Each structure stands twice: as structure tokens, then as C-alpha cells.
Structure 1
Amino acid sequence: KYAKLPKHPKVRNVFNLDFPDSNHLAKTFTVVSGPDMVNLIYHNFFASKDKVTQVINHCTHRLCVYIRLSLQTNKDGKIPVKNIYKMFPADKKRVESALASANLPKGKYDTIKPDVFTESAFRTFLTHLCPRPEIYEIFTSYSTKPTMTKENFTKFLNEKQRDSRLNEELFPRLRQDQIKALMDKYEPVTTNSNRGLISPEGLLFFLMGPETSIVMQDRLAKCNDMTQPIPHYFIKSSHNTYLTAGQFSGVSSPEMYRQCLLSGCRCLELDCWKGKPPDEEPIITHGFTMTTEILFKDVIEAIAESAFKTSQYPVILSFENHIDSVKQQEKMANYCKTIFGDALLTEPLEKYPFIVLLLLCSCSNINSPPVNPTPHPQGTAGQEVTAYEAMSSLVNYIQPNKFISFDNARKKNKSYVISSFVETKGEAMIAKSAVEFVEYNKRQMSRIYPKGTRMDSSNYIPQPFWNVGCQMVALNYQTMDFPMQLNMALFEFNGRTGYLLKHDVIRRSDKKFDPFCDRIDTVVASTLTIKIYSGQFLSDKSVKTGVEVEVIGLPGDPKKKYRTKWTTTPNAINPVWNEEPFVFEKILLPEMASLRIVVHEENGKFLGHRIIPVDAIQSGFHHICLRSESNMPLTLPALFVYIEVKDYIPAAFAGITNQKMSDFIQAGRGPGTSPLWSLKSDH
């Protein structure tokens, strides 16, 4: 099934979609688009032949990794120049000048033939629209002539773009033929590249290429060992998945389950309540509130449709069961069996890709709600009912139990037992017994969820819970606040599988870990230095802008939040800061820390952000493509920065050169392979 069935009866009648023997549903598919998971637009299509929808559906999922530039043409097939002015409304005179420099028509009512408006012409236009004096400054520091020689370009790559922590034997420097290939690829003037030269424009294009991505590309692909016990992974998890807005009067929708799964989420929550006569169909809603109700069956169908489109790894369903009817629980079990089919794991398997695990949370008593319910810190989780045989028989691998104490859990030593903690309880446990919490999470799983008083569906900061190894840190996916941005950024890695292998220090059984420590014996701390040079196309308005930088990690990591000065003039097309670098001297556990960069207008309005795990950052000059509040890539807005990540050297060793210390520490190891240095495979 590749389509969302149209709600309008007339549309369904046209294609006979309601007839049991109709195969027309197999010919339909739906494309869902929107700025976030809540505000969605549905585009329904009907194919004339069978299996076309399967092919198109597969292709659309593959196309999502590419960025395409679409140009609108008028009835004559030409591109109106006014469209270009609309794209850059902040400075019309600058747009006019840039069009003229690219030999393109500049009149507001002029048009451009598509064969004239080539990629090369558009690139020339952007180069003149957004001049880059800081790139020229970098260029002249390596060459006093109009072009840079291959030798100087090599020096630039080795001094600025190479990670100083890399072991020379494991990650050798680029060969001359590889460097020449880069010059040929990015130098726009053929005569220069033929002579082994590169111009400032060529250097700019190189610094905008994939080889200089700030993120190590091998980290984005599936790179973790996926054969470890399930408690050894962080699992992308959702709270009250069905809600599209607030916790008290929000709209519930099965579509949220689809969107969460497509984003890589692997743990979903279903709050199950009794359906009303005559159908007595189990429903999903937020109990004792004004949130709308949706059918349990519709949710199970939505999960079955989308569970494994973006990740092949197990989906865990967390049931909050409030149904005290044997008949309705039997209905629920039957829907799970028939709709999930073989994907539902009911028997232990040695190999288990493409499976759904049920986690049925229930307790033995039924609590009657008060007449005027007050939001409880635990929400409705404490008002669950008994799970009867039909549903409880489907639960395996993960058994929910009420948490008693760390000592009790250690003595029972049951790795398949999971306990859920409201955020406030979890925070208190971290403050009082952080080391014990880490030990607990090495052996078995914990799930953290927002307190019931977050009626606006806001989120708590997940980092403290990751620091102690909590696997399922469940958040409200309908609210794209800072905690969700941090969550989305972390799970972009390891192929977006929704599973991330925890660091060795919070997995190994032979050594305890204290997240509040100031040093970790088995880990080399990092020093991160970042210099903000400039911005590109940060806003379509003429405004002053500023950048904020911080590191989120362990409590002992640097807490300082750095800010640039506001730009002196209202210029969001190519603002330049070029201030002193910001230094985060000692990041204790780089694998558990993230760099956060946010751009604001002077009035505080958010313009864009980016969050990147520290251990995935490449040293060097980079253009950082910014994201929206909902973590969607913005087309043009970017920051140009220089970042250096190196091994932390204590003050007592300040006299030892960085290279000698790095060679000593790095003997036999290197950080991730960067795209620029992975070319060594040709060797």
C-alpha cells in the first residue's frame, strides 16, 4: 500500500476504491510534503498500470537525498527576471548589478531563455551577488600571484584541511595526482588547471564542494556494530506519538506515526482506550483531555505501511493500556497479528531485521479519574489496567516492570526488563545516583518521557539522560524546539537507522563511569576551536545578524556560550565577522558532545541553526549549510567557518609540540575517515 485513501466519497467512487475486489488501490500513491511533521499537504496520484506506484515510490525515496533547483517559466517557456528579484528581495540594486556581471537581462520585466540561464551563469550571478573577500584573504596567504601553484595548494590542504590527529601511516597525505584531480574538478579556467594552477574562484568552489563537508561522510552511513545487545544502543523514541499539537486539546492523527517512522523513529507510543458502542473499536487518545480520538486499527495500519521504509531495524511499540475489556483487547491483538503479519515478533529469532516488538505497559489496578483532573507529573501512565492473555502473549524480549531500586534491579539481573521514568524522576536519579544509573543502563533498558504538566507539548533536554546511557529518551515530535533539534541531529548518523551504539565507557561492564567526572582515563579529551568568518544569504531582509556557538555534552564540558558581535551594517547577503576564534578547551567525551551554532537577527528572530556531534566534525575551512527550526536544510543560508578539533593537551605539557603529542596518543589509531583523505583507497 503506497497511498493514503482519499477521504472524499466522490473521489473514492471515481476509482472504485471502496469495492473489495478492486485493485485500483494498488495503482495509487501519495506524496506528502510540508515544512514539518504536522503541517502537511497530500498529493494523491493514480497510475494507469500496475506496479508503477511501487517503482515511483521507490524512486521518490531515493530522490530525497538530492537537492534540485527548479525554475519556473512563463507561458512562452522563458524565466521571468522578476522571479530572481523575488528570490533576493533584500538588495535589488545588488541583484541588478550581479545579473549584469553574468551577462543576463536585468530588467524587472525581462525574461531569460532556459538555455542561457545555465548552471555556470547562475554560479557567476551568485558569485557577484555575494562577493567573498575572506576567501581572497585566505588565498593571498598562500599565493601573492593571481593563481596558486599546485605546491602551495598542497601546503594549504596539509596545513588547513587535514586533521592533525590522523596517523600518517593509516591515513597518508594526498598524492600529487589526487591533488591535481581536485584542481581539475574545481578550477573554472581550463588553461589554469592544465598548468597546475588554481584561482581564487577555484578555491571558493573547492571549499563549497563535498570534499570539504564539515561532517565526516562515513559517519552518516551505517557505521556502528549492529550486533550488540539492544540495551547497548540509543533508540530514537517518540512520546504520545499520535498528537499533532498540545496535550490537552490537540488533534490526534495516524499520520504522525508515519512521519515519525519515516524520520527514523524506532519506538512509538500508543495510548489505548475503550471504544464506545456499538462498534466498540479500541481508540487512541490522550485520556481525560479534549484531544481527538483515532482508531487503533488505523494507527496499526499506518505503522505497518511505514515501519521499514527508511530503516530495517526493529520497531518497538510502547502500549499504554487503559482498556479493561477482554473483547477489545482481543480485537487489538487480532489487528496486530493480521496487519503486521510476519513482521510481528511473537517468537524468539536469532536474526531479526524487519520486526515489530511490542512493549505493553500495564499495572494491576484501575484508578478512576478525578472529576476535574489536574495534570500529574506522570501523565496517565499511572492509570493503566491489566493486560489480558490476548495482548500479553504478544509481548516478548522486553518486559516492562515498575522500578523499585538500583540494588533490586542489580540482584534480579534481568536484561529484558525495562522501566519507564518521568523526566523529573529521571533527573532526581541522575542527581543522586548517576553512576548506578549508568550501571543499570549497561544491563537493561530505561525509557524517559515528558512530565504530564508539559501541556504545550514542550520537551526536556535529552542530553543528561544520554549521558547516563538511557536508551529510549522519548520526546514530543510535534514540537521542534531545541531538545528535538538536538535529538534529530544526533540520529542523522549511522544511516538514520534510529539506533546508535553507545560509547564504550557507558557499555563496558569492567569499569564504572561517572558523568560528573572531570577526566576519563580511557578517553582522550578534545579541544575545539571555531572561527566564524562570514555568512551567505542568511535572510531575505536587510538586517543585522549575529552567531551563537556552544557545546552540549557532559556536565564537565565547557559551559561558555560564545556570541559574535552584531554586524555593523544591515547586510544578510554576505555579512563578515572575522573575530577572534572561540575555544572550547576540554571536551571530556567528544563522542557524547555536540556543537550547536545558531544565527539570529538583531531583534532575536531565529534564522537558522546546525547541530553536529563533535566526533563527526572535520577540521578545516567549511561552509555550514543551516537548518530550519524543524531541522530541514535551508537552500542558500550558510556560514563560512574554520574549525580545528585536536587532542586536548594539559597545561603541564604545553611545551610539547602538538604534533609530537598527537603522534604519541594516536599511535595505531585515527578518528573517522574524512572524504578528503579517504581518497587514499586509490593507493
Structure 2
Amino acid sequence: MSLSAMEEGAFFIKVKSAHWRKTRHIELSRDHLNLHISHQSCGKSSFSIVDIKKINEIRIGYQSPIWERLGHHLPDAEQCFSLVIDGREQPLNLVSMTKESAELWTRGLQHLSANLENLDIKGKRLLWVWDCFKTADKDQSGKLSYKEVKKLLDKLNFQATSDYIDRVLKDTDISGDNLLSFDEFSDFFKKISWRPEVERLYKTYCDADLKLQPKELARFLREDQGLNDVTEETAMSLVKSFEPDENLRSTHVMSIYGFMYFLLSPHCDVFNAKERKVHMDMTRPLSHYYIASSHNTYLADDQLIGKSSVECYIRALERGCRCVELDCWDGEDGQPIIYHGYTLTSKIAFADVVEAIRDYAFKTSDYPVILSIENHCSVPQQKKMALIMKETLGDMLLQNPVDPSSHMLPSPEALKGRILVKGKRLKETNEDEEVSDEDEAADVEENGVKKNPSKTNKKIKLSKELSDLVIYAQSRHFHNFPDAKHNSDFRHISSLNEDKAMNLYNSQAEEFSEHNQWQLVRIYPKGTRTNSSNYDPLALWNVGCQIVALNYQTEDRETHINDALFRRNGGCGYVIKPDCLLTGKFNPSTVTNKSPFAQPSRLQIRVISAQQLPKPITSKKSDVIDPYVIVSVTGCDVDKQSKTTSVVDDNGFNPTWENDLVITFDVIVPQLAFITFDVMDKDSMGDDDLVGTYTLPYNSIANGYRHVHLGSIGSKPLLPSTLFINVKKT
């Protein structure tokens, strides 16, 4: 591939619709990190920048839905490609002037994206320093003046005396021209980022010559990190992987810089390494698992005038979601559509959604996907829905029981690579018949409030073709637990809105948890959440509800903790429920340390330091944050608690809390608990601002010296912001 040709640039046609096509000139930046897209408007030139790190996917040919909507205006597939960019609602769809140019650019971008994705911790950190350097280099001279460096330090929350900064600047200005090249700036940054707390830990394990050799590193891993089976050979391989100095690496010695890179790597992440792969028993019935689930998957925004998009399905599936919702209505052209009925939300073709599900269902996870069909269609269009699913999904679509003789749900393992349809199923008949409407579909809008479906008694006519595709997730209205036990079986599923589910939680938690051991239950938000807000999923997970559907398009605490749960087990979208929810009757509201389900555990956390914390969006440019950390436990009522560190004034770059007391939590039901780290900015004039956060399940926390890689409420990484902590869990 010729990256130099990409640097020179090429012309493309940017396509948004059949009637919106504009010429754009695109160049690859000299550092191969950005695309510069320029265009003419009203006689003036302007350009935008695409960060290649933010390109999530490169789709070649007609892989994006936009191309099929162009009809006879469709260009040659070999000239088309689409860039899916983080933070953009729709892909950037481009047509190259020749197929050779399209191939050059797609191969080049794939190569560059892969290189950035595969950077080690040292490379990622160096890349961040380079981004800082470019941001500060306003005149693009390739060097920073002392004044530019000091302005950058203000942005980075670095507070120090002028004498100290001037001294370090002069020490690193090797050329003596009062300007810092990137190499000089990197050296400057290394000096101001020095971490004495890591140096002290490093020296604790060094030998008499102050060298950290494999034997000493192995001792650190055993004594502090709790890795009892580690060998010197393992430690030697870590030295080879993380030591940046070639001479030290060849003599099997790890410098403090190598040790620091190791501590920042996934090996020392607070999230237990075993959880990064599928490690749970995947041969249990589906009802034994929490299943990552999305509500109104098609919506990119609110539920009244928001935009519907096929891309929302793709994003949900790529996040590991295993149950998506299809809200189906009759289309005017005889083809079924998906949108939020009786609202002004936009409409998308059912066929386009099914094609996207076919293409993306198993890119992130091999385990089954459930299509939750909310059916408002006439019989003719239901038949088209069934035909579209059968023709598009082919063998992926489950059309027969896995084991007709079984009296329990099949396992995720048995359903690998299969797509299940959730919906109403007719009794044994050869004809279309009327059935009661879906619980959620029967919620009728009246003055913006949804009625209880049990009071509407709405009926729909169901086509046999669509009914025949519903094998295991057969929708049945929930009346009460005795009725479910005597009049339904393992193949049925009930859909409950959050209010009804919480009423059951508050009044019949033990019966609820017992019911969820053998039959699937889906929970969905109440109809008054027109802004696509979410309910707290914790209580419903705590009684074993499997399909707790949330609005994935909304970034809030609820989706944040949902991401935390489903980060477990390799992010495959299935997490086995704890034993207390698989046998007996469990009530999360009344459990105590004397309950048979109690597994008392003590968690001790020492918050040591933080690194390169960002400023909150609301901060002024001149502000330097005053950080403190809230560590909290959520889960069963008996375990809810939080504790706070002291406030560090005027230091968001490298604050330390080494003099703070160890934070201790006694947790009764750790198997249902979550730990959250919130870094806050103390504000003397108003509410304190959230700087960064991270949540993980209690049983996923790793012992020892660990880094917490902070993110936003939307679980987006805030590179390179971290907390450095010590964990002791017993």
C-alpha cells in the first residue's frame, strides 16, 4: 500500500442520500493519525478532521444501509466504502473516483487502524503525549516555546511553582534554543510525570544492586498480586514485553520505567484478567443467565421525535447486546417497517434491520441473539416479516427445538450462532388466529401515559408463518406466580414493565427469584420515559430477571452498570447468575450475615494516586481541579455503602492520597455487589463535578496493586486517566 499517495490526497464523493452528494478532498496527515477532509462552501475553503483512532469499522462495498436506498443511483460497489466513526450517528459514506483508489484507501486505513489498535501501553502513552504536543503547537512549527508548554500544563491540570517548571524546561532543552522538539518535550513530560509512589514500590522488590530481576518480579507477583502459580519464566517474559531499554532487556532486568508500564498494562488492571475471556459454564439453561438486552434498539434519541437507525442495532450488537427489540408496523408500500408507533420518530425498513442483524449478530459474541418482536402488523405484512427473516438469516434462524424431548431451555452453548425469535405463538393449528397482544405492544398511548395491558384486552390476528418461528421465547401474559407455575412451561416468557416488576420485587421477591430459575422474564422501561431514560437494573438482577432491557442510546448510571456486568465472561453478553438465584428462594431486601445465602467478604482499598485527570466540561480554562475519590458498594440493601478520600487541592495531574486511611467495606452478598470509583472535583461554589468513573462487579476485582482506567458515564475511556490503588479482598 502507498501511504505517501494517501498523504497527497484524493477526491471522493460524500453521500448522505440519493439527492445529497458532495465532492470532498481527503488527505492523510503526515503523522498518519488523522484524515483532513476539505471542501468548498460559498467560495470559502473549510476542512474537518477525522481521528483514525476513532474509526471503529471500515465497510467495503455496499455494507452500509445507505447504498441500498440509492436505487438506480447506485455507484459501482468496488468504488464504495463507509467509515464508522466513534461519536458520529451515521457512517461517512464515500465513493472513490476509481476502484483502485478505493482499494488503496481502504487497505491503508485498515492497516493504520490495526496498528493503532495493537499499540502496547508504552505506545498508547506516547501517542497521547504526541497529541498534547500537536495541540500546543499552534503555529505548527514542530517545536514548543516555553510559553506554549506552560499553557498546555494549565490544560493538563498541572500545578507547580514557576521555578520548578523553568528548571525542568532548561534541563530538557538540549538544543538550548528555548524551544522543545517532540523528543525534548517527551523527556520533559517524563520528568514531570515521575511517580514517587511507584519508585518506592519498585525499590521494595529490587535486589541489593537496586535491580528488578525476574526472581524479584515473580516475588512481587506472588506476594502482592496474589498470583501463586507464577514462575520466574513468566516473570522473564514480562521483562521482555515491558522493559523499554534494550540493554536492560537483554540482561533480564526491568527498570522503573518498565515496571511502570507493566503496572499500567492489563496485567495489573483492577478488572480480573480471567474475566476477559469466556470462562463460565455455558451449558446451563438460558434461564440461568443474565442476558445483555436493549429496549427500543432502533432509536438514537428520545421516543417522541427521535431518529430511528439501522446503525443503532449494529452498535448494540457490537457492544455485546444479545436481545434486541424490533417494533414492527405496516409500511405504506406493503413492506414492514420499524419505528416507535404513534410518534414522530423516523421509520426504517424491517428488511434492512434483519440484514444488519445477520451481518453483525456474531461479530462480538458467538452466543445466541434474541429478536424481541413487538408486532403491530397486519397478517400479510407479518407473512413478509417471516419470509424476510427466513430468507435473510437462513440457517442462523432457529426454526425447530434443539432437543424436542427436553423439558428445560437449551443452553447458550447449544444455541451458539443461532438467532431466536421472541413473540406470540399460536396453539397447534394450520390457520391464522387471534391472540392477545404482546404485553408491551398492548400498552396504548393515552395522553402520553401507557395503560396497563391487562385492562386493554387487545387482540391481534397472528399469521402462522410468523408464529412458527417462535420456538423458545413464546410470549405469555403474566398473571401471577401460581398461574405461571401451573399453566405455562419453560418455553414461555413474560414481559413486565418496570413498575409491575418492582411491585413484584417489593411484595413477592422470593417467589420472583424462584420463578426466574426456570422461565425467562423480560423487563422494559415504563412508557412515560419518553426521553429514553432508564430504570435501575440492580434490583431486578437481584431477583434473577434475565432480560433487563435498557435504552442503550442513553449514557447514564444505569447503562454504565449494565456495561460493568456484561464486561464479565469475555463480554459475550451472557453472565451466569450466582448460586443464590439458581436454587431456593432468595430475598435481596431481607438477607443478613446469618442468611444461608450470605458469603461475607471484607474489601480493603487504599487509594494511592491518580494520573492525568481531565477537567470537567463545565470547568474554566484557568481552573485546576481539586480531586477526591468516592468508593461505593451497591447491590443488596444490606451492602449499600460509600466512603470518600480527602480532597487534594489544585492538582489533577498527579494527586496522591498516601496519607489517607485504608477504606474498608464488609460485604454480605458479594456475588451481587458492584464497586464504583467516582473521581470528583470539589467545587466550593456549587455542586461537585464528576471527573471520571469506573464500575466493576465485586467478584471481578483483582487483589494487589492495580490501576483503575477511568471512563465517562457512557463507559468511554478517558485516556490516559487512571487511579492507582491497592486492593485486599478476603
Q: Identify the residue that residue 354 of structure 2 maps to in structure 1.
A: 300
Structure 1 residues 406 and 86, CA gap change in structure 2 (3 angstroms): farther
Report 1:59-458 matches (<5 A).
Answer: 66-67=118-119, 68=124, 69=127, 71=130, 79-81=142-144, 88=153, 89=155, 90-91=157-158, 100-103=170-173, 110=179, 112=181, 116=183, 122=186, 124-139=187-202, 147=210, 156-162=220-226, 171-172=228-229, 174-179=230-235, 182=238, 200-201=256-257, 203-276=259-332, 279-323=333-377, 325-349=378-402, 351-361=414-424, 363-364=435-436, 372-376=447-451, 385-412=460-487, 414-458=489-533
The Cα shift of 1:425 comes to 1.0
Report 1:50-65 matches (<5 A).
Answer: none
Instruction: Give the alignment partner of residue 504 of structure 1, picking from 566, 575, 579.
Output: 579
Hey, what's the Cα distance between the residues in 2 that align with 1:107 and 1:494? Answer: 54
2:670 maps to a residue whose letter is L
Structure 1 residues 187 and 316, CA gap change in structure 2 (3 angstroms): closer
Task: Say if 1:537 and 1:573, in contact at 8 Å, map to a contact too.
Answer: yes
The Cα shift of 1:45 comes to 6.5
Q: Secondary structure at the match of 1:517?
A: coil
Q: 5+ residue gaps in structure 1?
A: 164-170, 647-683
1:209 maps to a residue whose letter is S
Task: Say if 1:285 and 1:294, in contact at 8 Å, map to a contact too.
Answer: yes
Deviations 1:307-360 (A, max 9, x none): 22211221111111122x222222222222222233222223465432221112
The Cα shift of 1:440 comes to 0.9
Hey, what's the Cα distance between the residues in 2 that align with 1:497 and 1:61? Answer: 23
The Cα shift of 1:471 comes to 0.8
Aligned length: 619
2:682 maps to a residue whose letter is E
What percentage of aligned pairs have identical amino acids? 31
Q: Identify the residue that residue 460 of structure 1 maps to in structure 2.
A: 535
Hey, what's the Cα distance between the residues in 1 that align with 2:535 and 2:529? Answer: 9
Instruction: Give the alignment partner of residue 84 of structure 2, picking from 14, 32, 56.
Output: 32
Q: Identify the residue that residue 572 of structure 1 maps to in structure 2.
A: 652
Hey, what's the Cα distance between the residues in 2 that align with 1:198 and 1:284? Answer: 58
Q: Secondary structure at the match of 2:544?
A: coil
Structure 1 residues 488 and 455, CA gap change in structure 2 (3 angstroms): same
Task: Say if 2:15 and 2:95, in contact at 8 Å, map to a contact too.
Answer: no
Structure 1 residues 12 and 543, CA gap change in structure 2 (3 angstroms): closer
Deviations 1:167-220 (A, max 9, x none): xxxx43x44454455556656677877888766555434422333222222211
1:552 aligns with 2:634: yes
Deviations 1:504-536 (A, max 9, x none): 33224xx44333322454764321111111111
Hey, what's the Cα distance between the residues in 1 that align with 2:473 and 2:173? Answer: 66
Instruction: Tell me whether 383-392 or 402-411 shows the greater mean CA deviation.
Output: 383-392
Structure in which a larger fraction of residues adopt strand: 2
Q: Identify the residue that residue 3 of structure 2 maps to in structure 1.
A: none
Q: Secondary structure at the match of 2:436?
A: coil
Deviations 1:356-382 (A, max 9, x none): 211125953697967744344779998
Q: Secondary structure at the match of 2:603?
A: strand
Q: Secondary structure at the match of 1:460?
A: coil
Hey, what's the Cα distance between the residues in 2 that align with 1:59 and 1:378? Answer: 53
Q: Identify the residue that residue 677 of structure 1 maps to in structure 2.
A: none
Report 1:573-592 matches (<5 A).
Answer: 573-578=653-658, 579-590=660-671, 592=672
Deviations 1:415-473 (A, max 9, x none): 11100111111111112221211111111100011111222211111111111111100
Q: 5+ residue gaps in structure 2?
A: 1-13, 25-60, 404-413, 426-434, 616-622
1:618 aligns with 2:708: no
Hey, what's the Cα distance between the residues in 1 that align with 2:453 and 2:169? Answer: 60
Hey, what's the Cα distance between the residues in 2 that align with 1:221 and 1:607? Answer: 30
Task: Say if 1:147 and 1:198, in contact at 8 Å, map to a contact too.
Answer: no
Hey, what's the Cα distance between the residues in 1 that align with 2:597 and 2:448? Answer: 50
Task: Let me know the Cα RMSD of the aligned residues.
Answer: 4.0
Q: Identify the residue that residue 42 of structure 1 maps to in structure 2.
A: 92
Instruction: Tell me whether 23-32 or 608-617 shows the greater mean CA deviation.
Output: 23-32
Instruction: Tell me whether 62-71 or 386-395 shows the greater mean CA deviation.
Output: 62-71
1:457 maps to a residue whose letter is S
Deviations 1:24-54 (A, max 9, x none): 336633221224xx74553546583699999
Task: Say if 1:378 and 1:451, in contact at 8 Å, map to a contact too.
Answer: no
Q: Identify the residue that residue 680 of structure 1 maps to in structure 2.
A: none
Deviations 1:246-302 (A, max 9, x none): 2222222221111111111110111122323xx143222222233222232332233
Structure 1 residues 185 and 61, CA gap change in structure 2 (3 angstroms): closer
Task: Say if 1:34 and 1:41, in contact at 8 Å, map to a contact too.
Answer: no
Structure 1 residues 438 and 611, CA gap change in structure 2 (3 angstroms): same
Hey, what's the Cα distance between the residues in 2 that align with 1:288 and 1:256? Answer: 20
Structure 1 residues 378 and 486, CA gap change in structure 2 (3 angstroms): farther
What TM-score do you get using the length of structure 1 for normalisation? 0.79
Task: Say if 1:243 and 1:252, in contact at 8 Å, map to a contact too.
Answer: yes
Hey, what's the Cα distance between the residues in 1 that align with 2:108 and 2:401? Answer: 35
Instruction: Tell me whether 359-368 or 424-433 shows the greater mean CA deviation.
Output: 359-368
Hey, what's the Cα distance between the residues in 2 that align with 1:125 and 1:379? Answer: 69
Q: Considering Cα pairs closer than 8 Å and 6+ residues apart, tell me whether 1 or 2 has the greater RCO.
A: 1
Q: Identify the residue that residue 31 of structure 2 maps to in structure 1.
A: none
Q: Identify the residue that residue 606 of structure 1 maps to in structure 2.
A: 690
Structure 1 residues 310 and 528, CA gap change in structure 2 (3 angstroms): same
